[in-house]
Amino acid sequence: MTLLSTRGLSKSFAGLQAVHEVDFDLPKGEVRALIGPNGAGKTTFVGLLCGRIAPSSGQVFFDGRDISHLPAHKRIGLGMAYTFQITSVFGRLSLFENVALAARRRVQGTAAVRAEVMGALAKVGLAGAAERAAGDLSYGHQRLLEIAMGLAQAPRLLILDEPTQGLSDAEITGFKALIRELSATTTILLIEHNMSVVMEVADQVTVLNFGEILAEGTPEEMHANAQVQAAYLGTG
């Protein structure tokens, strides 16, 4: 059953077509990787899905409902959570308080909030740093904190934009394990440049190029696709 879909979704900026008539379907329970060269329209597309960018034309559907004109906070309320390329943590607040801000959208009461916060921080490996100021974290750890903030909302759909950027090899290994764990209960859309991450965790891959879907299929199919190699993988 499809959880998220778009039909004819387009966005132009001052005459430049960033996303052009994209038809996209993400089934419930799938881990989908969205890949493509720089400037392919990936971040714009995600902004359209999340409600941070208004479409020029086309529709976005979530669990069968047309959400094309819902603002971002309304989409969060329906069960969408997302992290973006640029971290949006509150640097002066502790890790605990950053995640608590997200958790309080869903649960009430000190004990319940604390349980959700510490559980989310533990999943991303940051429970031991709960009282540190978020601004003191490395960039990579701020990305992990953002993921914890998303997890605290118990989303039906988790959208991650370049989540492994700035992570060490060991942290990337941990991230892969986290995605495999989350995939049992959460649909995931992953925008990712690290092809080892894509190959290991994605069920299906969508390739964007010049704002349009170039190809879709399994990671192995996309790795072997001559068009994808030419456009993105730098060969062929």
pLDDT digits (tens, 9 = 90+) for 68-91: 999 999 999 999 999 865 567 999
Per the domain annotation, does 139 fall within a domain? yes
Q: Which two tokens stand for residue 186?
A: 């959460």
Last residue of a domain, one of 154, 175, 203: 154
Distance from C-alpha of 26 to C-alpha of 5, rounded to nearest angstrom: 6
Distance from C-alpha of 222 to C-alpha of 68, rounded to nearest angstrom: 29
Per the domain annotation, does 84 fall within a domain? no
Q: Which two tokens stand for residue 158?
A: 């988790």
Q: How many domains is the chain partitioned into structurally?
A: 2
212 with 168, same domain?
Answer: yes
Domain housing 113: 90-154
Last residue of a domain, one of 154, 181, 198: 154
Per the domain annotation, does 109 fall within a domain? yes
47 with 72, same domain?
Answer: yes
Q: What is the pLDDT of residues 106-121, one digit of tens each?
A: 999 999 999 999 999 9
Per the domain annotation, does 190 fall within a domain? yes
74 with 181, same domain?
Answer: yes
Helices (H), 87-135: 95-103, 110-123
Per the domain annotation, does 127 fall within a domain? yes
pTM of the prediction? 0.92
What is the chain's percent helix, strand, coil content, to nearest 5? 40, 30, 35
